[in-house]
Amino acid sequence: MDFDISEEQELLQATVRQLAGNECPLTRVREIFDGDSGHDPELWKSLVEVGLGGTAIPEEFGGAGLELLDLALVAECLGSAAVPGPFLGHSLAGLAVLFAGSEEQKKSWLPRLAMGDALGTVAFAEEGSGWQPNEWTLRANGTLRGTKQHVPYGSLADLIVVGTADGGLVLVETAADGVQSEPVDGADRTRRLDHVSFDGASCEALPAGPQASGRVRDAGLILLSADAYGGAARSLEMAVEYAKTRQQFGVTIGHFQAIKHQLANMAIEVDPVRFLVWYAAHAFDHVPDESERTAALTKAHATSVFMQTARDSVEVHGGIGYTWECDVQILFKRAMFDRAFLGAPRVHRERAAVLGGW
């Protein structure tokens, strides 16, 4: 038995942390956060150059050939640094093609996605919060009509993997006619969203879509959970640092048990989540029986913990925490994204209940 990440995985995390620290310190995050597009092509290029465009894409298709656990470890580091950009949607688009595509589709798209020559995203949600494959209604028959909501970087992507009726998946190239996107005024300005309408846009089905769309969703749940753990740990760390520097009544506020206990309570919520995320990713890779339910439970738990931790962190920071200038608000809004994207905790707890036979 060995429940730990490997030395290679530790190295992978160290590399991503260093890259994020160099290329995307919080000052840069803030510029992108306050900017128009929420995307920095130079930053994205530097991530893709170290292989983060295709971490879990097999080497034969130009990826790094690693597992979802590795991808989740990357997501954790990006979450911790609040790195803005299209990592989530792009990763899921690649996995969708990998899990559901024909050989030809894989050969055509995966190398381009892995190398960053094409930007991918996924379009799942429909009106009324229909995130899950069994809730998708769009009909595709060579062409696609209808609207998808909350598509990450829908206006920038070259390729959109769209969820269709009966849990199907189709590819739409945005260069084609009949694809229109409208930006969403989202809270999380590090991960921008668009509503995307398809008006007879030509599309191409991924043959194994109905069998694979649940897997793609589960991978998304795990990546969001990993991001949430990274963000929660960072929110806690910021609060702890603040408690060690902010002085009132002649001492740092960390002396006061009111603050100390609040921080301890945050820590016991946050720290165990790391291992739950590891397990969920491990189950995705190696324990098929537990994979779906564990992903659901983990997403509900990890993102709830992130949300509450971010709230507590704002509170520990006091007045400054409530300002636009304070970086905690950036994490707070990432928590809002992680919590709601692909379905709120309530949705996944109910799914876990059903899958558990309750």
Partner 1 sequence: MDLSYGEAYEAFRKEVQAFLAENWPPRAEAAELPRKDQVDRFRDRAVDAGYLARSIPRKYGGSEQPPDALRASVIGEEFRKLRAPMDPVGLGVGLLVPTLLERGTDWQKEKFIRPTLRGHIRWCQGYSEPGSGSDLASLQTKGELAGDEWVINGQKIWTSGAQIADYCFCLVRTEPEQPKHAGISYMLIDMHQPGVEVRPLRQMTGHSGFNEVFFTDARTPKDWIVGERGEGWLVSRTTLKHERSGLMNVGQATGQLPALVKLARRSLRDGRPAVEDPEVRQKLAEIEGYMKANEYALYYRATRGRKGRDAGRIQLMAKLIRSEITQEVAKLAMELIGDDGLLAGGGELGMRERPSDNRGWVSSYMGSLGGAIAAGSSNIQRNVIGERGLGLPRDWAAQRSK
Residues that bind partner 1 (CB under 8 A): 1-6, 69, 240, 243-244, 251-252, 254-255, 257, 259-261, 263-265, 267-268, 271-276, 278-279, 282, 294, 297-298, 300-301, 304, 346, 349-350, 352-353, 356, 358
The tokens for 323 are 């300002």
> What is the nearest approach in angstroms of partner 1 to the Cβ of residue 243?
6
Q: Sign of the CA dihedral 147, 153, 155, 156?
A: negative
Q: Which lies closer to partner 1 via its Cβ, residue 179 or residue 222?
A: 222
Q: Which lies closer to partner 1 via its Cβ, residue 83 or residue 259?
A: 259
Could you tell me which of 263, 275, 258 has the C-alpha nearest to residue 236?
A: 263
Q: Which lies closer to partner 1 via its Cβ, residue 40 or residue 285?
A: 285
Those residues whose C-beta lies under 8 Å from the C-beta of residue 278, and which sit 6 or more positions away, are 3, 5, 69, 72
> What is the nearest approach in angstroms of partner 1 to the Cβ of residue 185?
30
The tokens for 34 are 């306050």
The tokens for 157 are 């992507």
> What is the nearest approach in angstroms of partner 1 to the Cβ of residue 235?
13
Q: Which lies closer to partner 1 via its Cβ, residue 193 or residue 222?
A: 222
> What is the nearest approach in angstroms of partner 1 to the Cβ of residue 263?
6
Q: Which lies closer to partner 1 via its Cβ, residue 251 or residue 320?
A: 251
> What is the nearest approach in angstroms of partner 1 to the Cβ of residue 232?
12
Dist CA 149 CA 45 (whole Å): 27
> What is the nearest approach in angstroms of partner 1 to the Cβ of residue 269?
9
The tokens for 16 are 């991503």
For the beta carbon of residue 286, count every other beta carbon within 10 angstroms. Answer: 12
CB 138 within 8 A of CB 178: no
Angle between helix 26-34 and 328-340 (nearest 10):
60
Q: Which lies closer to partner 1 via its Cβ, residue 319 or residue 357?
A: 357
